[in-house]
Amino acid sequence: MISATRRYSRVAYPISTPSDLLVELAAGNPVVVLQNVGVDWYPQWHFAVAIGYDLLEEKVILHSGIEARHILSWSRFVHTWKGSGNWGLVVLPPSRLPATATERTFLESVVGLERSHQWEAAAQAYDAARERWPASLAALIGLGNSRYALGDLLGAEQAFRAATRAHPLAASGFNNLAHVLAEVGRHEEALAAARTAVGLGGPLADVSRTTLLEIQAGEK
């Protein structure tokens, strides 16, 4: 199911608590849920879409099978949903963040779009993440990588430059910026960025050194 959402350029964001479910529904975001409508020793798995709730009546409204508005008591729903470990999925356009989104979980969800080569959708999602978390290094690097994959070298450069400004001690921004600058023929700037990445060291030290050597070799 998650793979299918990515094929349609949607972000699949997981949730796993009743409170998160209610927050998403209050924000107008339907939630795909997996229920065990059987018994513990003989489970019958069933996907439904939670579309609303009534706290006063203690009821949940589901799109279940061919039934557009299946009303279930809150206690019964919680019991059937608990059987799947509270498996839930918010499926949204990439430009829209879930109401319960956290930076790490949302960006992990966006990586799935990259792996599916949905680069435009990934770029839109990273842009949305930047609006929520302006200094997010992962969002800036992801945006730059997505723009690069789309052939938008100027957009990639802008994203990587923003990463170097927001995180001057992170080698990844300088290393990726060096690649883009070298590709557009700005070798002196590329060398400077690559040398900065090497000087910063860290877990990407070997990658940064390789980038610098490749740029130096390209000048000859």
What is the CATH number for 140? 1.25.40.10
Pick out the chain residues at pLDDT < 50.
none
**What's the pTM?**
0.90
pLDDT at 218: 81
167 inside domain: yes
Of 55, 71, 86, the last residue of a domain is 86
Q: How many domains does the chain have?
A: 2
The CA distance from 9 to 116, in Å, is 9
What's the DSSP call for residue 34? E
What CATH number has the domain bearing residue 48? 3.90.70.170
CB neighbour list of residue 24: distance below 8 Å, 6 or more residues apart = 15, 30, 31, 90, 98, 99, 100
Rounded to 5 degrees, φ, ψ at 152 are -90, 80
- Radius of gyration from C-alpha coordinates of the chain: 22
pLDDT at 195: 97
125 inside domain: no
The 10 Å Cβ neighbour count of residue 219 is 10
Cβ–Cβ < 8 Å for 119, 146: yes
Q: How far is CA 157 from CA 23, 69, 113, 198, in A?
A: 37, 49, 21, 19
Structure tokens at 141: 């690097």
Q: Quick one: which H or E segment has residue 18?
A: helix 18-26
According to DSSP, the β-strands at 67-73 and 45-54 are unpaired
Pick from 171, 92, 180, 176: which is nearest to 128 by CA? 92
Of 51, 86, 121, the last residue of a domain is 86
2 inside domain: no
The CA distance from 133 to 101, in Å, is 11
Pick from 166, 146, 156, 153: which is nearest to 94 by CA? 146
Quick one: angle between helices 187-200 and 205-218, nearest 10? 160
Quick one: angle between helices 187-200 and 171-183, nearest 10? 160
Q: Domain of 22?
A: 17-86
Report helix, strand or coil for 191: helix
pLDDT at 219: 65
Report helix, strand or coil for 200: helix
Instruction: Let me know whether 81 and 146 are in one domain.
Output: no
177 inside domain: yes
pLDDT at 90: 97
